[in-house]
Structures are given as structure tokens and as C-alpha cells.
Amino acid sequence: MAGRIRWSRFALVMGLGVAGMSTFGVAAATGAVPVSFTVSGGMLQASGERFDGKGIAIFGGVVQTKDKAYPAVMAAFDEADVRGICAGAVLEGVPVLGSVGLGIESEGFTARSVVVAIDELRTAATINDVRLGVDAGAASGAGPAGSFGVQAGSASLRDFHLNTRAVTAGTISLSGMKVNALTSKLECK
């Protein structure tokens, strides 16, 4: 008594499944469903028109990659609102392809519990309620206790250029995102 597969029914269920997947996928892409995301290791370059952050803690830190440790300025934000962002990274040593560029352009996004490991930052900034010399362990964001830290209520950056090795975000809500795979390096404005 061998069984068989009724392919018409298989197609029906697959159709339902794919419809469900795209519904959830769109919900995640538009930010209705929170997704947290981490990239680290190589150098990520980003530039944007505006960055507004609330609940800021800044402290010294280290980004640990597979075989190297890099010093970095860690900036933790409770809330961040970024507009007109363009980010690019080159992934070295990809199997088969060698190196691949990854470009992301977005109208903007809001994020909660963001930690950025800053390598270099060029911008015009307005920072409110600054307190220097706060114990990094006591500042909001999980800094190492006992080391120097800076705390600020809010900050606003215009036309920023950022080099970072690691970005972690608790929740990201994106609006209008475009991801490109490139064979050459992405040049953000």
C-alpha cells in the first residue's frame, strides 16, 4: 500500500504558505514586527542627513572580530531617529565571489536600544544635558563599570559621516529600504 502525493493539494498549501510568508515578511520590513539585527567585523561606512538620539551614553570599548580587537568609541542610544541614510560595506573573503559590496539606502528608520561602535565620525552636532565623567557602568547603556563615560539627554547631528565596525539595535523600524549587492565599493554622498 504505497502512498502518493496529490500535487494539486500540495500547490494549494504551498500557495497559502507563501502568502503567509510574504504577509509576515512585509510586516517585518515595514517595522510592524520588531526584528533585531547585528553586524560587526568589517568597516561599515554610513552617511545621513539627520540623526536624533535620546538617552545617550558614550564610553570607550573594544570591537572583537575573529582575529583582531579594535578600539572604538561606543555610543549607546535609548532611541534613535535617522533620516536619509546611505550605508555601504565591503565584505572581504566571501567564498566563490572574493569580495562583495553591500549598499543600503533608506528614507530613514527609528531604532531602540542602539549601540554603535564609532571608528570615525564627522558631523555638526547639538548635544543637550551633557555630563562628563559619569561612571560608564552607571550611564544608560551597558558600559564597563569603573571606566570614564559621558552621558547626555539628547543629541542632534546634521549631515553626518560615520565609520563603524559594529552596530547593534534592539528594534528597528524601517521605512523604504533598498539593498544593493555591488561588485565595486559603494560611495555615499
Partner 1 sequence: MTQVQVTQWRRTRPFWAGIFLILAAIALIVPPYATLHIGDWFVSATTVGGFSAVFIGILLLVLAGSLWLRPQYRFPAGVAALMLSLGSLVTTNLGGFVVGTLFGVIGSALALAWTD
Q: What are phi and psi of 33, to 5 degrees?
A: -115, 125
Q: Is 34 in the site for partner 1 (CB under 8 A)?
A: yes
DSSP letter (8 states) at residue 144: P
**Residues recorded for the chain:** 189
Distance between CA atoms of residues 164 and 116, nearest Å: 7
- Residue with Cβ nearer partner 1 (155 or 165): 165
* Closest CB 15 distance from partner 1, rounded Å: 9
Residue window 44-73: x/- pattern of binding to partner 1, with contact defined by CB under 8 A: ---------------------xxx------
- Residue with Cβ nearer partner 1 (21 or 138): 21
Judged by CB under 8 A, which stretch of 27-35, 78-86, 152-160, 175-183 contacts partner 1?
Answer: 27-35
Q: What are phi and psi of 71, to 5 degrees?
A: -75, 145
SS3 27: helix
Residue 107 grid coordinates: 528614507
Residue numbers at the binding site for partner 1 (CB under 8 A) = 1-10, 13-14, 16-18, 20-21, 24-25, 27-28, 33-42, 65-67, 89, 91-94, 99
